[in-house]
Chains A and B, each alone.
Chain A
Amino acid sequence: DSGVTQTPKHLITATGQRVTLRCSPRSGDLSVYWYQQSLDQGLQFLIQYYNGEERAKGNILERFSAQQFPDLHSELNLSSLELGDSALYFCASSIGGSGEAFFGQGTRLTVV
């Protein structure tokens, strides 16, 4: 158990819908990262938050947004879903902006 908790584990939804993925980082970790893993793209960095502030942005679509709350948990919002958004979404956390990162179990999103 990495200490990073993601919910839900599985999600099936229809095209055009909106979903929210939730992540609780390890106790004491201030940085949260979101990654997307699809079959043809590997593990792609989406966005990073540090202590509530956006720190870095990767290849995150405009239909996707995220935030980190005062209690340090984070949510990734995916809207106007398309079939191609089907993927495994990971959250990771680390103590600061550097240091070892630990990953949650992931949320497997299927868009039908």
Chain B
Amino acid sequence: GIQVEQSPPDLILQEGANSTLRCNFSDSVNNLQWFHQNPWGQLINLFYIPSGTKQNGRLSATTVATERYSLLYISSSQTTDSGVYFCAVRFVSGSQGNLIFGKGTKLSVKP
């Protein structure tokens, strides 16, 4: 069936370390977004990236649509990067517009 899988489920880093989060999806997509859910529950848009590569400060993302995966890179991590990172996709063959979320990667950055 239609799936969005994120790995790893949990990640603990020391401040200053780099990390790569992965999102695999099971079918063609016309939307892929990365979100950061902070400890207060807010879902913050990081990237809208159905294909290609984007960078925003210490964060960058790459989606290889033909191979059905996306990567989120976090460099020089800070304690404020802690939280849960979600990948969400809109499948071409799916319903009219809703995003389907992965289960997230819980990131803890230690000082």
Residues of A within 8 A of B (CB): 2, 31, 33, 35, 42-43, 45, 48, 50, 55-56, 58, 88, 90, 92, 94, 96-103, 105-106, 108
Contacts and interface: CB of A to CB of B under 8 A. Distances in A.
A69 to B, nearest CB: 19
A43 B86 CA distance: 9
B31 A99 contact: yes
A100 B30 CA distance: 10
A97 B86 contact: no
Considering residues B88, B97, B99, which has the most beta carbons from chain A within 10 angstroms of its beta carbon? Answer: B97
B33 A45 contact: no
B101 A48 contact: no
B43 A98 contact: no
Interface residues of B, number: 22
A3 to B, nearest CB: 11
Question: Chain B: interface secondary structure?
Answer: strand
Given A42-B104, A98-B30, A99-B31, A106 B42 contact: yes
Nearest to A41: B103
Interface string B13-53: 00000000000000000110101000001111100100000
Contacts of B97: 31, 33, 48, 50, 55-56, 94, 96-98
